[in-house]
Amino acid sequence: MTQHKIIAILAAGLLAAPVIAQTAAPAPAATDTVRQEAGKERVRKDRGPRMSEDGRKIMGETMRAKRQDVDREKLRAVREKIATIVGAPKLDVGALRAAMRDERQLVDLRHANHQERMIAALQKLSPEDRKIFAERANHQRKNIDRRMHHKRTMQPAAGPAQTPVN
């Protein structure tokens, strides 16, 4: 072997040494999207049987329609009015009561409209789909109750600004 070939091989080895010495890159952490998809899959497994395609369509249309029942701008304006009254230097209790009454009327109307749409939709479902809907509603209510109980019983972090959570 010639001297040039030996030098070339040694030089190539010296140049390649840092690359060879590197360890493999760590596996990428799960992205938020992957976590969200895993969470969705877990929820899907927990739900049990699904309603029929017709039942899902009926309830989907009903749930989407609830977003259109009460003028959101009116409700937003009333809530902004309440915030303005509460934040004023002098609290006008009469105006606050009136604004809160207006808000309650809009929210009650929204709730009543939603209930009427639900009654109409439930009448269109088959008995099997209504049973599945009721089971899922109970399951969701239990999950919400469990999460709320967990939040109420969590102990706050130690520190002077912390107040106990009851």
Place of tokens 């030098």: 7
d(CA 138, CA 118): 16
Question: What's the token pair of residue 72?
Answer: 């959101």
Phi, psi dihedrals of residue 126, rounded to the nearest 5°: -75, 160
pLDDT of amino acid 159 = 54
CA angle at residue 55 from 50 to 59, to 5 degrees?
105
d(CA 7, CA 5): 5
| Angle in degrees, 0-180, between the axes of helices 53-65 and 93-124, rounded to the nearest 10 | 160
Q: What is the CATH code for 52-146?
A: 1.20.120
d(CA 81, CA 44): 41
The DSSP symbol for 123 reads H
d(CA 58, CA 24): 52
pLDDT (tens, 9 = 90+) of the chain, 166 residues, equals 666 666 767 666 666 655 555 555 555 566 666 666 666 555 555 556 788 888 888 888 887 775 666 678 899 999 999 999 999 999 999 999 999 999 999 999 888 888 898 899 999 999 999 999 888 888 888 888 888 877 777 756 555 555 555 4
pTM passes above 0.75: no
Contact assessment for residue 85 and residue 99, using Cβ atoms and an 8 Å cutoff: yes
Q: Give the helix, strand, coil percentages of the chain, each rounded to 5.
A: 75, 0, 25
d(CA 138, CA 48): 12
